[in-house]
Amino acid sequence: MMRQYELVERVRRYNPHADEDLLNRAYVYAMKAHGTQKRASGDPFFSHPLEVAAILTDLRLDDATIVAAVLHDTIEDTAATREEIERLFGNEIAKLVDGLTKIKKLDLVSKQAEQAENFRKLLLAIVEDVRVLLVKLADRLHNMRTLRYMPAEKRTRVAQETLDIYAPLAGRMGMQNVRDELEDLAFRQLEPDAHAMIVSRLADLRARSGALIARIESELAERLAASGIVAAVHGRQKQPYSIWRKMERKSVAFEQLSDIFGFRVLVRDAADCYRVVGVVHTAWATVPGRFKDYVSTPKQNDYRSIHTTVVGPSSQRVELQIRTNEMHQVAEHGIAAHALYKDGRVEGSAELSRDSRAYQWLRRTIEMLAEGDSPEEFLEHTKLELFHDQVFCFTPKGRLIALPRGATPIDFAYAIHTDVGNTAVGAKVNGRVAPLGSELHNGDEVEILRASGQTPPAVWETLVITGKARAAVRRATREAVRAQYAGLGRQIVVRAFERAGKVLSEDKLRNALPRLARSSVEDVLAAVGRGEMFSGDVVKALYPDLKEERPAAPPAKRSEAGWFGMKKAASLIFKVPEEAGNHQNSIPIRGLRGDLPVRFAPNGGAVPGDRIVGILTPGEGITIYPIQSPALTAFDDQPERWLDVRWDIDEAQKQHFPAQIIVTAINEPGTLAEIAGVIGNNGGNIDNIQIVVRSPDFREMAIDVEVSNLKHLNAIISELRTRSVVSKVERVNG
């Protein structure tokens, strides 16, 4: 266990002006607070916070962060209180310890909803002071190093949590060393056989390739020195988990990987980075598509480096990372490398980190909390962004937009602004019109084509990969559906007031909201449209003294005249005269692409020319049935769900409506083609066909067709009946 003077010395190595008294007091306080507590390994519990502090001294963090690490378990596991820590060590350290205590209570691998809500709390705690995350990552790293002492079930749970949440977070914060070790420890626990296999093969490969690696290092260093470039060249090896993930992603064997070994070139300044590229590309052939410049366009976690691959000595592919020493510190330690020194003192990394791209990403992620409609969505979106690499694209004006790999122009549009995404109707990529679902690549210039009044279709959710875009599409879809229900509800309520001899007043309705248990007029109208609230209840809320008469039970049999009797019974909730068949107050139906949530009867549909009735289904909108549909008997005892509807078709717009026909035809070659030809030649569209074998000589076909109206449908049926291969044709009436 690290001793008191050793902790002080570790901090003084990089910060000669460290507050020794503060460090000593924290050491003594935590040691006394934890007392005789033991870890699962049998070691004194106090050894754990000391090891966490030691990890953070390797990251060269400020005194407050080191002290918070020493104290981070005291509030949770001892009699210590936040008030006492604030009194003894100040408000800054107390806030850090309190944030860590809250995080410790979270269970990130639990039921999806609980995990999502806890992850929100985790990031909210972090964003107040990013040093909380640094201590938490060090805490998790030490726990993973000692994971073998935990019960098997807990080992698996903690390892999965590490792989899902903490390792990607470390990567997003640019802390590559921490990420690599967390991934390796978790991989070893979750896939022990795969881990052992890769480690063994790496050892064999090193033994076989050692001489070649040394030769490449030597030759590269000599060429750079000959060009007057001061550089350090080091061979490096991919991590086992990174190798495993690539094998899984590309479905390749270990032997097929050509980039297991690479080389890192460290130089003095950015200009030397590009000089190294010139030397390397002049000496050896480059591998096309393998050059990436993260110096001029850093990653969101502040990573800066030039990547290139060449065919080096012995025709060996050589991967190179070229960076300055300062870039290397950021690449290894990420946001922790932003602790700067002025006049020999370490400034708090919490303040300095706010200028980093990693911290800005964290802020943007937190902003999604306000936009997300559920914790599960937030967790899903954040995980998507944690695990994606990046591509860099440009607006026509040259603005750089960083996106996850695999992003589409829709993602690009939402990255610019939510309004740009919501109104996007097309895109130009590098000057050419491209599908909105096409994948973007590094360096693409993207222009978004917009149109006012556009609403993003729900299918966009399957095309986007960024959390922001997916959340915005879902939100816009929900708002569009809600607007549809509110529009339907408004028509229903207006007609209910008209039947009652009243006029809908939104001001009066707003005053009646408490009686309807809704917070806005829009909520009331949407509830009526969804079938969650009866329109008569809205009238009653405004006019409580109005005499109400509920409809009697409907007749058992329905004819067209019977339907009008039903309509009259369902409409006359309040005693207002209405002539049967009067459609002035009916709701117009324009089809599937109208502004109402409308669908047609699942078996048989309905087409203009049919007498129709609407059935209101809670949460689904209106289902349109032909008046002769036998399915309507199921709603005989629910008259409040019946709506008087009528067709309102614009002849200038060629709309199609669903219908179903049953065709009994002779079983011989060419029959189906002839039937399809009749439908197609008459301007109909086949949506689906189901064939049933009735006998060896005949087949029965249930054909879903789309037609413009009843006359169109009857013309198709009539011509089918004239064909010799057709025995019988009937329309299905729902």
Q: Hey, which residues are catalytic here?
A: 76-77
Helix/strand number for the chain, H first, E second:
29, 23
3-state SS, 381-447, equals HHHHHHHCCEEEEECCCCCEEEEECCCCHHHHHHHHCHHHHHCEEEEEECCEEECCCCCCCCCCEEE
Phi, psi dihedral angles at 626 (to 5 degrees): -65, 150
Q: In what order do the strands lie in the sheet with 698-707?
A: 685-693, 698-707, 657-666, 726-731
Query: At which residue do the structure tokens 């000593």 appear?
Result: 24
Name the H helices within 146-191. Answer: 152-161, 167-172, 176-190
The residue with tokens 């953070």 is 56
Helices (H), 227-289: 240-250, 270-283
C-beta separation of 542 from 558 below 8 A: no
> Do the Cβ atoms of 587 and 495 come closer than 8 Å?
yes
Q: Would the CA dihedral through 237, 241, 247, 253 be positive or negative?
A: positive
Confirm if 63 and 72 have CB atoms less than 8 A apart.
no
- Give the single-character DSSP code of 595: S
Helix (H) or strand (E) holding 200: helix 192-226
Residues in the chain: 734
Whose tokens are 């197609």? That residue is 680
Question: 476: Cβ–Cβ under 8 A, 6 or more apart, which residues?
Answer: 422, 455, 456
The sign one gets for the Cα dihedral 168, 170, 172, 174 is negative
3-state DSSP: the chain helix, strand, coil percent, rounded to 5? 50, 15, 30
Sign of dihedral through CA atoms 631, 634, 637, 642? negative
Q: Which of 303, 473, 261 is nearest to 390 (CA)?
A: 303
CB 473 within 8 A of CB 464: yes
Closest CA to 542 of 516, 585, 508, 590: 508
How far from chain centre, in Å, is Cα 722? 55
The three-point CA angle 103-181-364 to 5° equals 50
d(CA 513, CA 523): 9
> What spatial distance separates the first Cα and last Cα of the chain, rounded to whole Å?
79
Strand, helix or coil for residue 342: strand
B/e letters for 413-435, b = 16+ CB within 10 Å, e = fewer, are bbbeebeebbbbeebebeeeebe
